[in-house]
Structure 1
Amino acid sequence: MIPEEIIDAELEVIEDIETTKTYRLTDINIQGFTDELKALQQAIYKVLNTEKYEYPIYSFAYGIELESLIGKDPIYVQIELQRRIQECLLQDERITGVDNFQCTVTGDSLLCRFDVTSIYGNTTIMKEVSV
């Protein structure tokens, strides 16, 4: 049976905000949950320690390509590392900026320190790579 009267209904769109709650990783195990800035710091750590194109479980857009920098001139590595870090981190919609890079070369390693601005606040990250 088809209704003969027209039903006037308005749909209300409610914007869902995705939760950032995730498992909390420690040095040796997964214990409890974390969210917001701590969850974002975990995500940054994970993406910066995953070699791009290496693991078939991740898309080609995930991770950072660092192996190709080994053996290169430290000045080139410093410039390229900044670009690659910004490129991989700015894919995350929670991150609004990556800047204030400070790099130090010690022997055959380069330590890069930088600030990440996000919707949850600011954090300072360090990443060491072989040169």
Structure 2
Amino acid sequence: MADNNFFPFIGTESDYIPETNNELPLYREFAWDFAKDDFIKDNSGDFKIVEGKEALQVWIYHALHTNRYEHEIFSWDYGTELITLVGQRFTKGLTESEAFRYIKEALLVNEYLLSVKKNSIVFDGDVLHIDITVKTVYGEVRLVV
């Protein structure tokens, strides 16, 4: 009786790799009023929920406004390290380049976000002005902060 498998106790690759569902669920988030920097509530006083591209815009906004490693409630992957640029004596070009790198690193941890394009990132004194376009699974989102 000939067995073609020299190691019958070792399975094939497909025996060890779990099946995964590559479809992401619809992204949902609490609605955010960017002008007031506060939640949006519906007529009944409950928090409004947004989905898809609009929900990702809320996530992006919060990720960029959160300092990484500062809040125990968030994972170490969440937020930016932009605060580390404060007080550095880098050239303007290097500072803006590092700011974009930090922004890109902060956003691409989200599996719904595919790429980040810099429209402009400028320091005006101590204020960082960001204009980016983020390609998401739902289309493009532009954020100007």
TM above 0.5, yes or no, is: yes
> What RMSD over aligned residues (CA atoms) do the two structures have, in Å?
2.1
Q: Compute the displacement of 1:14 (Å).
A: 9.5
Unaligned runs of 5+ in 1: 1-12
Match of 2:106 among 82, 88, 94: 88
Cα displacement string for residues 76-120 of structure 1 (whole angstroms, at most 9, x for unaligned residues): 220111111111111111111101341233233231211111111
Question: SS in structure 2 opposite 1:114?
Answer: strand
1:24 match: 31
Q: What letter is aligned with 2:27?
A: T
* Structure 2 counterparts to residues 1-131 of structure 1, below 5 A: 15=21, 17-26=24-33, 27=36, 28-31=38-41, 32-72=48-88, 73=90, 74-127=92-145
Q: What letter is aligned with 1:84?
A: Y
Contact map agreement 1:36 1:120 (CA 8 A) in 2: yes
Question: SS in structure 2 opposite 1:88?
Answer: helix
Equivalent pairs, count: 115
Point out the structure with the larger strand share: 1
**Sequence identity of aligned pairs in percent?**
28
